Structure 1
């Protein structure tokens, strides 16, 4: 389980995340939904220990990320697409991660097959398109076979087939009992992928609810999101798939 309690992050006079509290439970896909600039990425960085909160705390499995004994085996994360040495092959990048995380090297070929990169495993990762880089990032997140996954905008750069693939993958991983937190500003994609939603706006939690509950009044998810955030631009972008 992922838990945040009173997370707050300021950059100068700007409050990026404002007393944010939530729990993400295993067994379902939780969508972390909000307009661009709403604080989603900053929150994920605090969950991963990359940014220090000004107040509050975050835990994964009851511990701060920095205190996890085998972090790559416990948490898989995709926060940016191109977090690899461009001169390394896809297989070489994953093999280095496996060695550093004391992960069985046989997992490298398993995850390359899972994400559809087995046929290009020997190519330099720096030559990959954005969509292929996203797939490599997802492979890295899956490498340690973790129980918790945090993915920030994972469908960026993917074609429609790739978007369907990531949707099915996330739902299958949740069905195995894993904790899956999926950040996105794409409302229509969250409607198809997520079971539960954390809606954020200007760094504050606006809703912690299921997709079914949010749309129970007969409104579409786009309409419900717009009513919560008051962000017409985000509404239009999210609805125009």
Structure 2
């Protein structure tokens, strides 16, 4: 599982993540929600050892990510699918990652087939659409067959078929007992995909609750997605700092 304990991050005089604690458990999809600038991406980067916390710690199965041997076999992540070498072929990109973590070459073909890119494995990634690039990023996250998966806005660029495919994939992975953390702004997909929600605002924990329980606090129209959106807006607007920011923009 993923454990975040009293995590904090400051850049100069600005606090981005503020004494944040939560646990992401296996066997469920956990949605990670918050307004723009809430600290979601910074939190994910600290979990993955890409940013150093100012205080606190983030652990994957009881250890910091940077201490994991063959880390792709413990935790797969998609933070920025466009972070690719455009001149490299899709298959070569994955083979390089596989070699760096001692993963068998046959796994490359398996994940390319899984994400629907087997037919374009020899194409250079500079010619990929946004949706194809996103699928390749998901393939990289799955390469080590990890028990932990972290995805930041994974449906970006996916068409309706691709969104449905990813929704089913994430739920299947959770049903296998994996730990799945998904950051998203899309309430409809969160309502359809997630079992648990972690909501933050201004780097602070606002809620850690099952989706159905959270949606029950909302009153926005019909359907769980509308109720979830209403509950989210009510909760984030209740943060004094966030409300001040919104009022300043009016």
- TM-score, normalised via structure 2 length: 0.90
Conserved in 2, the CA contact under 8 Å of 1:27 and 1:179?
yes
- Residue number in structure 2 paired with 1:65: 65
Residues 73 and 192 of structure 1, relative CA distance in 2, 3 Å threshold: same
Q: After superposition, where does 1:193-232 map in structure 2 within 5 Å?
A: 193-217=193-217, 219=219, 220-230=227-237
* Structure 2 residue runs without a partner (length 5+): 220-226, 244-250
- Aligned: 1:145 with 2:152: no
CA drift at 1:33: 0.7
Shift of 1:53: 0.6
- State the secondary structure of the residue aligned to 2:189: helix
CA deviation string 1:106-148 (max 9, x = no partner): 0001000100101111100111111111100000000000000
Is 1:118 aligned with 2:125?
no
Aligned length: 232
**Separation in 2 of the partners of 1:157 and 1:117?**
15
Is the contact between residue 27 and residue 174 of structure 2 (CA under 8 Å) also seen in structure 1?
Answer: yes
Alpha-carbon offset, residue 202 of structure 1: 1.1
Q: Which residue of 2 aligns with 1:43?
A: 43
Task: Choose 1 or 2 for highest CA Rg.
Answer: 2
CA distance in 2, matches of 1:3, 1:86: 35
Where does residue 22 of structure 2 map in the other structure? 22
Question: Residue 16 and residue 161 in structure 1: after superposition, are their counterparts in 2 closer, same or farther (change >3 A)?
Answer: same
- Normalised TM-score (structure 1): 0.94
Compute the RMSD of aligned alpha carbons.
1.2
1:34 Cα offset (Å)? 1.1
- Given the alignment of the two structures, is residue 129 of structure 1 paired with residue 129 of structure 2, yes or no? yes
Give the Å deviation of 1:216. 2.7
SS in 1 for 2:208: strand
- Unaligned 5+ segments in structure 1 are 233-241
1:36-78 per-residue CA deviation (whole Å, 9 max, x = no partner) reads: 2111000000000000010100000000001111201111000
Describe the superposition over 1:175-224 as per-residue Cα deviations: whole angstroms up to 9, x where unpaired: 00000000112222111110000011111110000011112346310111
